[in-house]
């Protein structure tokens, strides 16, 4: 696929890591050596067959890829419009798309001779995936997590500990994901010599946004193969939820070359865009710099990052990956929103009509896809990236419904 001659989008960031005005490398002096080392290794693996063979082998025999695409037949019947298909990232080992990226970065860490891995986590999904792969490769694993998130995600914290990781509570700021990211960066500055920082989404200083996308584009590459086998053609629409944007970038990227497939990213509108309690960085944010890159950011007049809200912890991040900011401005993808309530409704529909308990993050994509399907005729095809399974969200959904488990 990389040698296709009718590429309309083969964008790589420029050597400084910019997608247009977004991205870049906004880091402290202390990190410049390690970032350069990482950049060199990232560029080296581009054409290194043996690296990608090992990566593919892990995805096949450990993660269980390729993940299937399921026709959501009963949801489709109930909407009486376009056909809805689901790319089943929920069936990956560890339950979401995150592991694709973690394997890629962990293999890179091994090549660079780094035996100590650090990561940040919000809901705990990236932490669990990282702890899992570190256990498999025999690497030391330290996960930074906001103290508030540790309280909300007791099961995932224990899961990481079972897998041998050390979970470090972060008590600064709002004690959530963005603070955990700051703390992980601080650790990295101090321990650059033996430490590899595995970032969980398409954000951070260059080369992370492009590198994480490259480790997630397997999702879209599989869909390009699978859709014609299942439906005879490529989908008219692809819909994916946006936290930092890694599952969306992974399914979008290969499709940026296909003019007839529209790409739609769904941000978390929380309690409604008008309430201010949301995490819609593209819809409601403005240009700024966070965690090493320039992008759309939720900030106040003084440039302070604002508090965000979403019922799904994985979407509760005040920024978005720089490539999405670029795709938005260039109108190569559309960005819309779904509220907490719409996501919970879609979650319930998916449970009852399809026998699939989706992650609340993925339920945002599904909510928008259902709305869209109703407006389209029956020949149209919508492919939803079901980024993860919802077992982790049992407590949140029960609480939302006023039920005590
Ligand atoms: C973490 C997570 C997300 C959000 O992260 P992206 O980088 O935007 O993909 C979405 N879905 C699931 C299941 C997640 O665990």
Active site residues: 98, 120, 387
If one residue of 94, 97, 267, 363 were mutated to test the ligand 1 pocket, choosing by the most ligand atoms within 8 A of its CB, it would be 97
Supply the pLDDT for residue 75.
98
CA 392 to centroid of ligand 1, rounded, Å: 13
pLDDT at 7 over 80: no
CA of 327 to the centre of ligand 1 (A): 19
Tell me if the pTM is above 0.85: yes
Q: Which has the minimum average pLDDT: 39-43, 242-246, 277-281, 400-404?
A: 400-404
**Residue 207: Cβ within 10 Å count:** 22
Read off the pLDDT band of 268 (50, 70, 90): very high
Q: What pLDDT, in 10s, does the model give residues 331-389?
A: 999 999 999 999 999 999 999 999 999 999 999 999 999 999 999 999 999 999 999 99
Q: What confidence tier does 9 reach under pLDDT thresholds 50, 70, 90?
A: low
- Alpha carbon of 177 to ligand 1 centroid (Å): 13
Which atom of ligand 1 sits closest to the CA of residue 362?
11
Q: Give the model confidence (pLDDT) of 309-327 as tens digits.
A: 999 989 989 999 999 999 9
Distance 314 CA to ligand 1 centre (A): 5
> Residues lining ligand 1, judged by CB closer than 6 Å?
96, 98, 125, 201, 241-247, 314-315, 359, 361-362, 387-388
Minimal-distance CA residue to ligand 1 atom 7: 246
Candidate of 127, 246, 266 to mutate for ligand 1, largest count of ligand atoms within 8 Å of Cβ: 246
For ligand 1, atom 13, name the residue with the nearest CA.
388
pLDDT for res 176? 87
Which of 4-13, 89-98, 158-167 is predicted least confidently?
Answer: 4-13
Nearest CA to ligand 1 atom 1: 314
**To test the ligand 1 pocket, which listed residue (177, 199, 314, 316) has its Cβ within 8 A of the most ligand atoms?**
314
């Amino acid at each position: 696929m990389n040698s296709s001659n009718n590429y309309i989008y083969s964008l790589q960031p420029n050597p400084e890591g910019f997608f247009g005005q977004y991205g870049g490398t906004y880091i402290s002096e202390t990190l410049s050596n390690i970032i350069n080392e990482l950049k060199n290794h990232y560029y080296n693996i581009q054409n290194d067959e043996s690296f990608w063979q090992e990566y593919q082998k892990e995805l096949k025999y450990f993660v269980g890829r390729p993940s299937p695409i399921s026709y959501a037949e009963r949801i489709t019947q109930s909407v009486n419009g376009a056909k809805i298909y689901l790319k089943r990232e929920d069936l990956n080992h560890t339950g979401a798309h995150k592991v694709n990226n973690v394997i890629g970065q962990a293999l890179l860490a091994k090549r660079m001779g780094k035996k100590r891995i650090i990561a940040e986590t919000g809901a705990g999904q990236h932490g669990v995936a990282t702890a899992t792969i570190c256990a498999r490769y025999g690497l030391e694993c330290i996960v930074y997590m906001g103290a508030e998130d540790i309280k909300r995600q007791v099961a995932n914290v224990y899961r990481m500990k079972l897998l041998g990781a050390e979970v470090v509570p972060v008590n600064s700021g709002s004690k959530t994901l963005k603070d955990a990211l700051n703390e992980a960066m601080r650790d990295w500055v101090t321990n650059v010599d033996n430490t590899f920082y595995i970032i969980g989404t398409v954000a951070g200083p260059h080369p992370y946004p492009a590198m994480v996308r490259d480790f997630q584009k397997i999702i879209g590459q599989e869909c390009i193969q699978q859709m014609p086998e299942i439906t005879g053609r490529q989908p008219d629409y692809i819909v994916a939820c946006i936290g930092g944007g890694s599952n969306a970038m992974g399914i979008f990227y290969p499709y940026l070359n296909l003019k007839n497939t529209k790409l739609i990213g769904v941000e978390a509108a929380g309690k409604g865009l008008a309430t201010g309690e949301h995490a819609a960085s593209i819809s409601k944010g403005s240009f700024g710099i966070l965690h090493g890159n320039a992008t759309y950011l939720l900030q106040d007049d003084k440039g302070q990052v604002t508090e965000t809200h979403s019922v799904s912890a994985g979407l509760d991040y005040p920024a978005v990956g720089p490539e999405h900011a670029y795709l938005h401005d260039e109108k190569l993808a559309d960005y819309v929103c779904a509220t907490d309530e719409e996501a919970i409704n879609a979650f319930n529909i998916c449970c009852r009509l399809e026998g699939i308990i989706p992650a609340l993050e993925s339920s945002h994509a599904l909510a928008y896809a259902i709305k869209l399907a109703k407006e389209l005729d029956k020949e149209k095809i919508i492919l939803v990236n079901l980024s993860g399974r919802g077992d982790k969200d049992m407590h949140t959904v029960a609480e939302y419904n006023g039920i005590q488990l």
